[in-house]
Structure 1
Amino acid sequence: MFIVDFQDRFVAVNIAACHLTGYTRDELLKMRIPDLHEEEDLAAYNKFRDRIMAGDPILSEARIRRKDGLKVDTEFSNSRVFIAGIPYMHTTARDITERKRAQEALHESEERITKAFCAIPDALIISRLEDGKILEVNDSWYKVFGYSREEVIGKSSLALDLFADSADRQRAIALLLKQGFVRDFELQIRQKSGALRTVVLSIELLEIHGEQYMISVVQDITERKMTEESLAESERKLKTLFEILPVGASILNAQRKIVYVNPALERILDISKESLFKGDYGSRTYLRPDGTLMPAEEFASVRAIKEQRAVHSVETGVVKEDGTIIWISVSAVALGFPDWDVLVVSSDITERKRAEIEMNRQRETLQKVFDHIPVMITYFDETGDIKMVNQELVRKLGWTFEEWKTENILAKSYPDSEALKEALDFMVSKRSGWKDFKTTTKSGTAIDTMWTNILLPDGVSIGIGQDITERKRAEEALHVSLEKYRVLFESFPLGITITDKSGKIMEVNRQSERLLGITRDAHTQRSIDSKDWQIIRKDGTSMPVDEFASNRALQENRLIENVEMGIVKDKGKITWINVTAAPIPLEDYGVAIVYSDLTDRRLAEERLRRTQEQLRLLAAHLENVREEERKHLSQEFHDQVGQILTAIKIDLSMLQRTVADSRKELSRSVISLDIVSMHGMIDRAIAIIREIMSELRPELLDELGIVPTLEYEVERFQRHSGISCTFRSAAGEIALDAKKSIAMYRIFQEAIANVARHAKATSVEISLRKEGADLVLEIKDNGIGISADAENEARSFGLIGMRERAILLGGTLEIGGVERKGTTVLVRIPYEHTLTDGGVAL
């Protein structure tokens, strides 16, 4: 208690005042009020002092400065009193330090709770059960519902029309009244804008002062639902794509077990799906195109996995149980997914038919995320000691609050030292925002979590976390599914085009760009009935749009298979394709069109036809050649050898008569002349016979080999034709068997004969050399050059014979010509190559 005059001097104090200020009574009576107050408190004191002098009692608070320097929060009760008629200020002072501390602690606690309440990422609503009126909402309320706090306080959800379906509200209330809580109740809410959002609602009942309140947590799962729908759409697209492909398909897992086959493969291989899954197909025999056994390491699927690349068009014969053979063309591509390791595509090339394929893969199901309280909360004080965890944290991570207090749970949640340091740094960081962590639970399971941290001025750290494991899995599943679809779509060995309902092209793969000859962007600017397409029938006539497989499938809403057509590209080039089209039973999709390239097959058929024609003509030509050779030999022997022998016979008869006529005296010189004449005729006969024998088979070839024979023939050709010839042999000593020698000689003989007959050349260069394991004969002239038409002419019997001789030796013959620059004939045979008696290469 203090008595103060109105010059602010203490005139009386009691012992309690001395205890409060730390001064003695004598010291206080020498002091004034400003000596005990802080400068900022004196201004307030000066204002209410005049009111006290006027008789108004005043209650105030201020800090006084004790003698020891401490500052004490003090409550003052001031009033005016008269002593001996003189007015004084009577002041009762009370130490309120502990009360102030309690008030500050309460304020800090309320601030912490408010920050935690507002920081929860889902909408949190506190409402009265009796009338449903909303008492409080957090900051996330606006993000979910679009209403500000001021717009909803005091109103009910019914009045705000928050439920898209009022029946959902009634069911939620019924559940709450029946079981006392609501967990993960999925429904649609209406935002302020009228937009609908899909949410999960959880409600807890809370009793305060005898009145029941509802604490509701609303989690917006609209984006998650959209992710699920997108994943389902991707699934349907993949399944539909495989169902319409007219080829057999199978998928092997990492253990090389078949996990999927489509019906087309069952039809092609004539074996059931169950047998394929059991591996019964392994008992069948597989053949190479040449009929020999095909080992497993040559299978397309095995090569694709080993070489980690796409393997295309491996022709394989499958011997069925009844001995019949199914010929298939197999392509395989390594996908690299654990459950889908390799895709194998099989086309039936026995009948050249395509079949639909389907695909059914197991998709990973998304687990429900979050229970009735969808966030985890931790409170750490300024020393780092845990002060509070909520039940969601206990449920998610497994450790109880007692375990958090007695054990270093953070070190267990983040066993990696770097991860633990990152978590501790995040707890003391002043940065706001969310951060992802990989958190280990009590069971040892690692889960994905997302945390935000609130660091209060006094060092307290509030952590708010969410389990995002399921969301991560959903994102990864969607990414994997889309990547699977992209890899399969882009790497598929057939062209694929997908349209919308109107026939406008939406998607194409790389093979479609190659086959149709236009870019992806150009595709998407067209529709299937665009006038830009130049399509012809098999007979070369223009194909109208209503005959297109794609247009028919779209109009008739059914599968259209194996329509053969030609695509006319730039400069008149034609690509022949086989087209299958099928409607896609999905919204906004039209048809899927699959193209296979028939150009090589048609070219092969044309080459086969041309070869057959050439062989037929060659057979007839060879028969004519034999007759001509017989006629030539007969005429040569008759005209030359026959005449000489006749002359010799006549001379011998005359000589015989001369010797027999004893009446004549013989002259030794006459007989000698006759004998000399006959010798000369016999020599000419021998020379002619040798010439004929040389044409049939040169003696040099058997006696000296191919190199001296060619040298002799080159010199002889130059002498008779007048064409300058050069022969070079860099092969050294060459030992060829008889069949190879005569074949190479005949090829050379025909080649230089063609030079003499057709080339109009002035020089010829001939070389014989070894290149690796091959023997190469090259004949190059500087004549007019051979045209491609002349080379492919069916009646070019000389060229056909040369090529056939080379093939029989296991080699090749190439002819190249440049107009007015000459022709080059290049023969290449295996030097170590041997022939059977039948002349077939081994």
Structure 2
Amino acid sequence: ITYEHQVISPDGTIRWQRWTARGLFDESGALVEYQSIGEDITERQQAEESFAMELERLSTTPRGIGDGVIATDVDRPAVLINQAAETLTGRSQEEALQAESAEYKQAEEEREKLLHDKGERVKELQCMYGVAKSIRARNTLEEIFQDVAELIPPGWHYPEITRGKVTFGEKEYVSEPFTETEWKQSSDIVVHGEPLGSIEVYYLEECPELDEGPFMTEERNLINGMAKNISEAIERKHAEEALRESEKKYRSLFSNMRNGFAYCQILVDEKNQPIDFIYLEVNDAFEKLTGLKKVDVLGKRVTEAIPGIKEAHPELFDIYGKVALTGEGTQFDIHFKPLEIWLSISVYCPHRGYFVAVFENITERQQAGENLRISEEKYRRLFETMQDGVLIADTISGEIIDINPYLAELFKCNREAIIGKVVWKAHPFSSMLGMEEGFKSLRREGYTRFVTAYQSIPNGRKIFAEFINNVYLIGGRSIIQCNVRDITENKLAEESLRESEEKYRQLVELSPDSIAVHREGKIVFINTAGARQLGAADPEQLIGKPIRDFLHPDYHDIVKERIRQINKGKKEVPLIEEKIIRLDGTVIDVDVTVIPATYQGKPAVQAIARDITERKRAEKELSESREQLRSLSAHLQSVREESQKLLAREIHDELGQDLTALKMDLSWMKGRLRPDQKLLQEKVATMTKLSDAMIQTVKRITARLRPTLLDDLGVVAALEWESGEFTERTGIGCDLTVEPEDLDLDPDRVTTVYRIFQEALTNVARHAQATNVKISIKVHADTLEMEVRDNGIGITEEQVASPRSFGLIGIRERVLQWDGKAIIEGRKGKGTTLAVTIPLDNGGGPK
């Protein structure tokens, strides 16, 4: 079939294409594949459209126009000829159309033949492509032969009646259903110059004679090409198998060799100087000896795989570069710094630009030699510098082989003069008691240890020396090594310790506090004061008794935990108050501190206890006295508040009413005076002003005693009035916030809050030097919180703690009545903050 259609190019333009397609079918008539050939006909289509438009235009042009007009299509015969053209050509329009149609038909037949030939070439190319594809897929030879046999029919001129066969050795591979006929075409499969098989093509029916019987020249070229490709594929397969076998042997040797192996390519700059190299192949021993993984080095530059190698070993690049570029091998040892290992490396050049490094890790060998040298150096350095004396002597003869400088300095002897002499006969050892007996015992037992004294002649100092002696073999010779330690300071320290222990024992015995040591829960020591504290006549009476017997039951678990902390390594546990029970059953209060101790060489616990029974009694009395004073203060405040309340009400009710009546009488008198009674009118006016002033004074006095707003309108209204009065009186801005706005408190708390509010504002006015004060009163979770914050100079800590700060003391006392808190803080130049909290759920009245 042939069809035309539009396509949209990637750049968005519309192109016209014409496709000729045909299907290939198998023997059963089933469609196997399509073969299509296409061409771009955009320009032709555009020409046809232009021609149609021109034809339309010409069709409207009178046929009698003077010029000859012939309209044609590129691919079709003429479609329009006018009269002038008929005269000029000598042919009518009908004759011209018939001639053009014949030429057009011949052109169409030639194009169809060309398309058919193109289709045949496509089939041949697809056949060759299929063979190449099978070979590239690295199939087995058997699979390739079978693929070729099946690819033959679609590639020949008559696929429906074509069969293919590949013969190789004694095996045959055919396309089914296969039948041999007399119409055959074949080509030999030649491997290494020897024909080992063939490709054969059969037609099942007789076909027209072409170039080679029924076969075309192109099909001969195709079958020869297929045979050649298969021959080359077989040769490659054989070569690959031989190479694999060789590689298998090489790989076995390569993988199992104990030396490391690295095959590398040298990289050079424009001056042919080595600058880097790439790892192309390494063996398993490479990983084991260097610790580097193949995956981290293969295909990488050494400067990438081992950072810092160029800076650490620039000579490596010169050595490897010389071998790779000149072909001269070499061998060398190197301490490879990036990996901190020693390597012995042999390098050779397999071909120019490449090198192979075969190496072994000689770190242990190098390290052994280095360790020996270091060990000898360390021993000599230790021998020369150690702060113990060392004497080396022959076990059999007792002759001194060597002494170190410390020993010579310790005993003030000459090293050269003493070497070669017998130990117990040489000065200064000859004057030391037990030397000869000690060395004879050393020969028998192989180890001795003894202490001896030596009186130094130059300065008369007495030296105590401890000899620790061992016998060992060096090169088959029995040697004595004596380590001599100056223990003079230790001896003196032991003496000082004995004196210190005696002083400590006296201090413990004379201490007024109880000092006891217990281990595993039992008393192992207690001083005289401790015995008296527990009611014992003598300390011995308490030794061995469990400490639990003297602990009050309330403190059993506490003491047990404190002892556990000491046993776990805690140096000290905090001082606490405890109760202990004396032998007579009485209970006393004590302050106890506990520390770890050592007693008779074993770990123990030391407890120091001070009797605080009298102090506790005094503290209790003081606390009770303070509570009584606080109760008295609260009572006096309550009485004063009540008195002020009554007094304010009496003044307001009695005096206020009388003054109001007087003002009403004066007003009445003023209305009844004649105009000519000016003196009386003036007197009445003066008396009215005086009564008004007296009424204001009464209001001010009653407000100071207790504002009526507090009882009539509640605490919020009273606080707002007081803050306004404060600002009007002092000129200090006052911002008041109350949450909730309808705050409702019991009468006693109302009085407390109001008086604290008054006192706080009074302190601000007197001391703060502030320009503004902010008061916040809020209720949170059954607690009233009041914060008063000013922007003044800030109260100092001394002022907060001063016993003369009566205003602050009064605030604290009022808050304590409700188990509340008052915190006063000041920052210099930043103002003062008073924070008050008063519980709202602890009863109905103050304590």
- Give the number of the structure whose residues are more often helix, by fraction: 2
The structure whose RCO (Cα within 8 Å, separation 6+) is larger is 1
**Bigger CA radius of gyration:** 2
Q: TM-score, normalization: structure 1?
A: 0.35
